Structure 1
Amino acid sequence: MNDPLTLGYILSGTALGLLLLISIFFYRLGYWRASGVRGPRFDRLAPALQLNQSTWRAEFSSFGQRMDDEAHVVTLTFRQSGSRLAAEGLDESGRRWSLEGVVFQRHITFLTLERSTAGHALGSGHLDAAEPHQMVGTHSSTSRVAGCVLVRTLRLHQVLPESEDSVAETNADESVDVMPPVHS
C-alpha cells in the first residue's frame, strides 16, 4: 500500500467514480427540471406536416466538392409525435443515420448522427416543405475525410408506396406471350 503507483491508481479511480456520480446526479436534475418546463410549450407548436411512418430519400449536394466516401443518398423512415420528429435510415454505403428534430408549421430543424465503423459524425440542418412530397434545405456536418465541416444542400423526396392501381396498370402494360387455342 506504500507504493505510490498503487496509491495513484486508487485515488484516480475514486476521483473518476465520484465524477461519474456527480455527472449522473446533474443529468437527472436537468432532466427533471426540463420535463416540467419543456413539455406543454414544446407540444403547442403547430406542425403542418404529418410525417409519421413515411419514408423519404435524402440527396446531398456538396457545393462542387467531390467526396467519394461521403454519403450522397440516405433513405430515412420518420416517426412523429406532435412536433417532435425522429428518423432512422441507411445510406448507400450501409452507414446508419439518426435524425431528431422539431417540426413547426412547414419547417423542420434537426440534428443528425451518422454512425460507421470509422466513427461518428454529428450534423445539423433545416428543411422547408415547399411541395407535398418534397423538402429542400441545408445540412452541415463534420467530415473526417475532408478534415472540416461540410455545408451541403439537402433535398428530400418522399418514397410513395405502390398502390394496387399502379401495379395493375404495370401488369396490363407488360407484354405476355399468348398461346394459340388448341382445337380438338
Structure 2
Amino acid sequence: MDVTKDGRSWRIGTAGDVAWLACQTTHGLSITTAIPPVFDAYATFYPPDGVSIEAHERAVVDELTEHTPDQPWWLGYLDTGAHDIVFPLAPKQSLYWDWPYLLVEAGPEQALTWRTGHMRGEGSLPDLFFPADHSWLASALWDDTWTDIGGTAALITGLHRNPLVNARPVGPDEDALPPGLTRD
C-alpha cells in the first residue's frame, strides 16, 4: 500500500519489512529490550541540557546519515491513539509486545519533519527507524524518555563524540537507563 504526502507516494511497511526485528528482542531492562542483539555496538541518547530538541535531533540524523550509504529509511510511529503517527489510516504492524506501529519507507528529512510531537514530548523523530540495509536500528519504547540504538562501532563512536547527541555506549546486557533519568 502507498500513501501520499508532500506530493509523493510513500510505501507503507508490511510484516515482511520488520521480520528481521520481530520477536528478536528480550524482556527486561537491558538495551536488547528495544534493540535485537545483532549489532556490534549499542548506545542510548537523549537531548543534553541546554540543547534544543531540534538541534539534538538534527545532530542524531546527521550522524546516522554520515554512517549510512544512500538508501531509504523505514520510519516507525507507535500508535498510542494520542500522538501523531503521520498516516493514521494506514495499516499497522505489531512489534515488541504487540504494539501497533505504522511503518513508512522514507528518509532522513522526513524523519526530521513529518511528525509534530510525540509521547516523549516535542520533536519529530519516529519511535523506531532504520535504514533498508538494517545496519542500525534506533528505537524509543513506549514508556522510555530516551532512545536506544544498535549499529556499527564506528556509528556508536560518532554518536558518542557528538556533544549535541548525548549518546552513552552500553553493552547488550547493561541497563539501558541513562544516568540522571528515571523510569516512569
TM-score (norm 1): 0.28
TM-score (norm 2): 0.28
Task: Return the structure number with greater relative CO, CA threshold 8 A, min gap 6.
Answer: 2
**Structure with the largest fraction of strand:** 1
Larger Rg: 1
**Structure with the largest fraction of helix:** 1
